[in-house]
Structure 1
């Protein structure tokens, strides 16, 4: 079942059309804003009474994600439903899909929720990933190939922003790390010589049409995205072409509908550990808009959130056009003054006095260390101008230079 017929979709008319979203975080908030800009009503299911998306939507179903009554209420008011984070229970999406179009599907989200299933999918799609092994039993632990060490042990489920990951160098460290992780199912990935990281955001419709944003070059700190740079030449053209093709292959491999982000590692090809991998390996996928795509809100004619609305509502997909070089700075709770300076908030006035700065705050009430509170997009005529402005903004906010 898809949307798009004249009786089902009325833009700018008197008929109410509500798009639902599972999850009330900042991604849901920005999706809701994009949907409302296009004339849709929005509904959010989230247990938090003060969730960023719930506070600005027309409907807020305040229940647990697995609450049958809450799911029924969301379905009752929504014409179609999406998700804003990958850890929403896949079975909840499957339940919603019995009565409403759901994109992405529960099956696609389930793959992204399990690193073992995710890597198997990458292999099936012919996209290289780091050499790995699944560890679910003591026997599998004992049989680990020594060539996978040093490596990174990652929990198969519920890991994000660097959580649930331990670096290990020896079999003894590996055994100890698995014990510390309570012997839950894990994936051991061979540690590879990384040069830098990039990501690709694609949007795929129900009929198979697929478009993409420009390839994003990313800098992570402590496992959390810190800076994204997007401009012509930020990634070698041949590598960018391979990354886009890989992301589209991964999306089509599960008949994906919606916005999907695929993250990649770019390797030092001269290093022996990178032999045979072609310099580019996939890291993971996120079945939703992504932090690295936030720059598109100010630097592109179609943002990742407008693409999400289009895929959900069955509207035509067009190839986004980036009209300005851009740098995105993640704004974590770390930069909020703890001593009451400036009223307890960063010096937004000085930042917004800089040309080409676009501030996006998420409406979260408590600033905590490592918590994503907002982001700053910087645009300009040239990358030199954008970089100078972004570095000055970082200095004002107390963010490390890049």
Structure 2
């Protein structure tokens, strides 16, 4: 928990130092926004060549469970935030002894375990699909049968971008027992969540920011398209009815208020074909689907995170213009034989309204997020068309 309660919190003004657990692309882009506002930045990351290293004032090379180095990070900072969920509770507590940590450990402890996260959402009355927690192959087998045979399986801890995940019942030619065994192996033969497949119209996300003083801003929803369980493209605003948009925002704000969030929270939601909204997952950090906020909104998600954790007035979140992003995975740098090649960035940048965002990761590999393209358009559909056209030219 943060050492500074909301009742006594004071704004942390430019010139102060912000610490970030994690130096990946989200930490990098947060640092760039913070530096533009006059803050100094320190990060902690196990990778000595992490993406944020090149834009921060200092980088501590340490693991997420290194509580001594977590304390050292906080000693040099006025506030600490995060860009990844894998921080150990011991590290969060060690840092909180020296600086406010926002979001705090109590919230992170719920979110970083998918079983606890689902249980918390259900316990607090938020809409979730049918699921079962499993801790053995036999429990997995029982859950598949109980949920109708067509399910997604996700590891309880860790795992993202399709890692630590499996599915059962989607291949009519596959043997059920073999699929169940494969899903158990995908979970690392450890605890996980089995979710009943739902009939989807689309997937969306809603980002909510909440400052220690209680001020809240909720961004318009983003529409997200995944390929092989990795976000391929996202656009703002999402094509939703005004009623569904309002309901999605309400759910996100109530989750943030229930947690007493200090920072930002992305709420991933399923829009079902029968008109329901179901919470999929929570992320207490900047989110891939809100990279478009840098071009679509008055305030980007990265600046908003800085404002929120520093207890500054939150920025306006109105959409100025529709914008879309397309992720650039390491595959873009590989030819058909798996050999490195140089993408045609010049061709992509010739498309009107397109910008290039690279993360300075120097080892492209299949499935690794290396950067993204963004595009603006007169409509959401036009923004999507432009960014995908640019990507096709790489």
TM-score (norm: length of structure 1): 0.88
Query: Which blocks of at least 5 consecutive residues in structure 1 are unaligned?
Result: 270-277, 398-402
Change (3 A) 1:140 1:75: same
Alpha-carbon separation, structure 2, partners of 1:171 and 1:346:
41
1:352 corresponds to 2:358: no
Alpha-carbon separation, structure 2, partners of 1:163 and 1:127:
26
Aligned to 1:327: 324
1:259 corresponds to 2:264: yes
Alpha-carbon separation, structure 2, partners of 1:6 and 1:162:
39
Deviations 1:211-249 (A, max 9, x none): 111100000000100010113x61222111111111111
Range with bigger deviation, 153-162 or 361-370? 153-162
1:242 corresponds to 2:242: no
Give 1:174 deviation, angstroms: 6.8
1:86 corresponds to 2:91: no
SS of 1:228's partner is: strand
Change (3 A) 1:155 1:8: closer
Change (3 A) 1:381 1:70: same
Alpha-carbon separation, structure 1, partners of 2:159 and 2:381:
36
Alpha-carbon separation, structure 1, partners of 2:184 and 2:234:
35
Change (3 A) 1:145 1:9: closer
Supply the RMSD in Å over aligned alpha carbons: 2.5
Deviations 1:73-118 (A, max 9, x none): 2112111000111112233112211221001111211211111111
Aligned to 2:95: 96
Alpha-carbon separation, structure 1, partners of 2:300 and 2:26:
12
Deviations 1:359-379 (A, max 9, x none): 111010111111101111101
Alpha-carbon separation, structure 2, partners of 1:76 and 1:300:
34
1:199 corresponds to 2:198: no
1:390 corresponds to 2:393: no
Give 1:310 deviation, angstroms: 0.7
Counterpart contact for 1:4–1:314, Cα < 8 Å = no
Aligned to 2:278: 281
1:224 corresponds to 2:227: no
Aligned to 2:172: none
Shift >4 Å, 4+ stretches: 2-8, 137-143
Aligned to 1:159: 159
Aligned to 1:367: 364
Alpha-carbon separation, structure 1, partners of 2:254 and 2:221:
15
Change (3 A) 1:93 1:68: closer
Alpha-carbon separation, structure 2, partners of 1:396 and 1:223:
23
Change (3 A) 1:68 1:268: closer
Alpha-carbon separation, structure 1, partners of 2:204 and 2:76:
38
Alpha-carbon separation, structure 1, partners of 2:27 and 2:206:
20
Give 1:325 deviation, angstroms: 0.8
SS of 1:95's partner is: helix
Range with bigger deviation, 175-184 or 117-126? 175-184
Deviations 1:118-155 (A, max 9, x none): 11121123221110111124674575473402212221
SS of 2:321's partner is: coil
Alignment of 1:1-400 (within 5 A): 1=4, 9-11=12-14, 16-137=15-136, 140-141=139-140, 144=143, 146-148=145-147, 149-169=149-169, 172-173=177-178, 176-177=181-182, 179-180=184-185, 181-231=187-237, 234-269=239-274, 279-338=276-335, 344-383=341-380, 385-397=382-394
Give 1:207 deviation, angstroms: 2.4
Alpha-carbon separation, structure 1, partners of 2:151 and 2:380:
36
Deviations 1:42-92 (A, max 9, x none): 001112221111221101112222224322321121110001111122331
Range with bigger deviation, 82-91 or 282-291? 82-91
Give 1:380 deviation, angstroms: 2.8
Deviations 1:296-347 (A, max 9, x none): 112211000011001111101133121011111111111114489xx93211
Counterpart contact for 2:11–2:311, Cα < 8 Å = no
TM-score (norm: length of structure 2): 0.90
Change (3 A) 1:112 1:226: same
